[in-house]
């Protein structure tokens, strides 16, 4: 199947490849962007070590899932990345996937995270045939939790995990949100123009 290029009103989502590594180095070099991930910036070498294998991974791509890089339509400016990733090993016909996103700080609070993630949910439920998508973040990461809520995801549980070097707020746990295909489809129907419901 392969990951398609997806477009929204403002975003072009293109499959992430090794050509995008310099953009990922720049993104993860911002400590504030990495606040709820590592609590610090990644060095260029750390980015290459972490993202290099992900960019080269073809397993999820074979079923139409994986990682996308988002650019603003019109001027092509790099916004960040979004993903819809199945479990490992990747099943031939995945039924669930984890959603995620990371945007450059200059693009926060403009609705891009929700817009890009919504496009991936539509692709996952409509094209790939997923039945459930979930996402997680630190309980204290209220901006990401707001995005999950805007997508129609519901809080499923809060996990309390042990970390060797916990970040501030880790004691409040990790929240897991989810949405099913049926709920997603019902939301789309509610928000579609009346003439499209016939």
Written in H, E and C, the secondary structure of 123-135 is HHHHHHCCCEEEE
Mean pLDDT by 10 residues, the chain (198 residues): 94 97 98 96 96 92 96 97 94 96 97 98 97 98 97 97 92 97 91 60
Q: Whole-angstrom Cα distance, residue 61 to residue 40?
A: 30
Query: What is the model's pLDDT at position 193?
Result: 65
* Selection from 137, 125, 134 nearest residue 184 by Cα: 125
According to DSSP, residue 88 is labeled S
Query: According to the model, what pLDDT value does residue 25 have?
Result: 97
Domains of the chain, residue spans: 6-197
Q: Could you give the CA distance from residue 21 to residue 48 in angstroms, rounded to a whole number?
A: 7
Q: Is 167 left (phi over 0), alpha (psi -120 to 50) or beta?
A: beta
- Whether residue 16 contacts residue 10, with contact meaning beta carbons closer than 8 Å, is answered with no
With CA atoms as reference, report the closest residue to 94 among 84, 103, 82: 84
Where are any strands of DSSP class E within 54-173?
A: 66-72, 78-85, 96-103, 132-138, 154-159
pLDDT of residue 182: 97
Give the pLDDT score at 195: 59
Q: What is the pLDDT, as a whole number, of residue 190?
A: 83
| Statement: 6-197 belongs to CATH 3.40.630.30 | yes
Q: Which residues are CB-neighbours of 191 under 8 A, at least 6 positions away?
A: none
């Amino acid at each position: 199947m392969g990951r398609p290029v997806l477009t929204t009103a403002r975003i072009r989502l293109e499959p992430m490849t090794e050509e995008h590594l310099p953009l990922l180095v720049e993104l993860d070099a911002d400590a504030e962007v990495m606040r709820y991930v590592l609590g610090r910036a990644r060095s260029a070498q750390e980015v290459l070590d972490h993202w290099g294998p992900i960019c080269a991974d073809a397993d999820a791509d074979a079923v139409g899932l994986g990682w996308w890089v988002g650019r603003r339509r019109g001027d092509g400016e790099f916004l960040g990345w979004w993903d819809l990733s199945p479990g490992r090993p990747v099943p031939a016909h995945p039924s669930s996937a984890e959603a995620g996103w990371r945007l450059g700080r200059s693009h926060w609070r403009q609705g891009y995270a929700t817009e890009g993630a919504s496009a991936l949910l539509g692709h996952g439920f409509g094209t790939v045939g997923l039945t459930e998508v979930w996402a997680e973040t630190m309980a204290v990461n209220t901006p990401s939790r707001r995005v999950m809520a805007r997508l129609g995801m519901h809080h499923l549980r809060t996990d309390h995990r042990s970390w060797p070097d916990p970040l501030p707020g880790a004691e409040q746990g990790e929240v897991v949100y989810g949405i099913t295909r049926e709920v997603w489809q019902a939301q789309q129907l509610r928000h579609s123009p009346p003439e499209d419901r016939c």
